Amino acid sequence: MDPSFSDLPDSDLIRRNLSRSPTSPRTLFNNLMNGVAIICGVLALLPLMAVLSYILIKGVGSLNLSIFTELPPPPLVEGGGFRNAIVGTLLMVGIAALITVPFGVLAAIYLVEFSSKTVSRWIRFATNVLSGIPSIIAGVFTYGLLVSTKIVGFSPIAGGVALSVLMLPIVIRTTDEALQLVSDDLRQASAGLGATNFQTVVQVILPAALPAIITGVTLAIARAAGETAPLIFTALFSQFAFNGLFQPIASLAVLVFNFAIVPYPNQQSLAWAASLILVLMVLITSIIARWVSSRKS
């Protein structure tokens, strides 16, 4: 052994043997890959930051109290707001959630707890296919099912049904994964205490998976709140206040679509303000989902 190492403690000797030269090929390659990863991360954030910054710059200047209290004005009239669009968006997303959450959670419970492997495999495959369907197809489907047949016509109910088609696979998949992550020890312990399958699911498994289920529901709501194409086919648009569940209704996404392409500065300003409100709604919903997920962790 080199005499210079003979007087070193064992820990220092091990540390020196494991240390690498800053100019070694392995160290240089590691530093290069770290740099590439950082650059890719920054490039991935640039589009998001650009979109948020542009909407923030354009939208903040258009914000005022009247947009929450007044209705959309005629083309050549200044001022106005989009109270009806905010109400319509919340109403249709609420209807979609009332439809989706019970069916989605119950379907996931059946997949994990009661179905055979063959049945669950095919249902999961169908759910994956449904999650990849373009949103406009959900709008056309609901239009043919409810609107063109005059069952409900253009209305918040038709809009809510169209959004529920988009939300359903998200709720099923996230609930399915949440239930699978619940330890089998809990199921066995519940069965050992004499609980039935129903009691085990309701009193043991669902409470354990509830934070993850809430996260999936909030993410589904965030997606539905920003959809435009399904609502054009089902809820249409209205310049007037909410007038019943069987009448056309405004929504933020369709308002942005309608007002952003017109040559009237006031309506374009309202479109930017509605875009900012819509982004904030989606952002808040996503933050709630992350907060619930972190609480679970």
d(CA 41, CA 147): 45
Cβ atoms of 167 and 100 closer than 8 Å: yes
Reading the chain (297 residues) residue by residue, the pLDDT tens digits are 445 444 545 555 455 554 566 677 788 888 889 889 999 999 988 988 888 888 888 888 888 888 888 888 888 888 888 999 999 999 999 999 999 999 999 999 998 888 888 888 898 899 988 888 899 999 999 999 999 998 998 999 999 999 999 999 999 999 999 888 888 888 888 888 888 888 888 888 888 888 888 888 888 988 888 889 999 999 989 888 888 889 999 999 999 999 988 888 888 899 999 999 988 888 888 888 778 777 655
Q: How far is CA 130 from CA 35, 151, 167, 170, 292, in A?
A: 39, 24, 10, 9, 26
d(CA 291, CA 297): 10
Taking the alpha carbons of 112, 118, 121, 125 in that order, is the dihedral positive or negative?
negative
Angle at 62 between CA 57 and CA 64, to 5 degrees: 130
Which helix (H) or strand (E) segment is 184 a member of? helix 184-192
d(CA 252, CA 31): 47
Which helix (H) or strand (E) segment is 6 a member of? helix 3-6
Contacts of residue 151, Cβ cutoff 8 Å, sequence gap at least 6? 145
Contacts of residue 31, Cβ cutoff 8 Å, sequence gap at least 6? none
Contacts of residue 12, Cβ cutoff 8 Å, sequence gap at least 6? none
Give helix 206-225 / helix 83-109 axis angle, nearest 10°: 140
Please give the structure tokens belonging to residue 186: 């809990």
The amino acid that residue 11 corresponds to is S
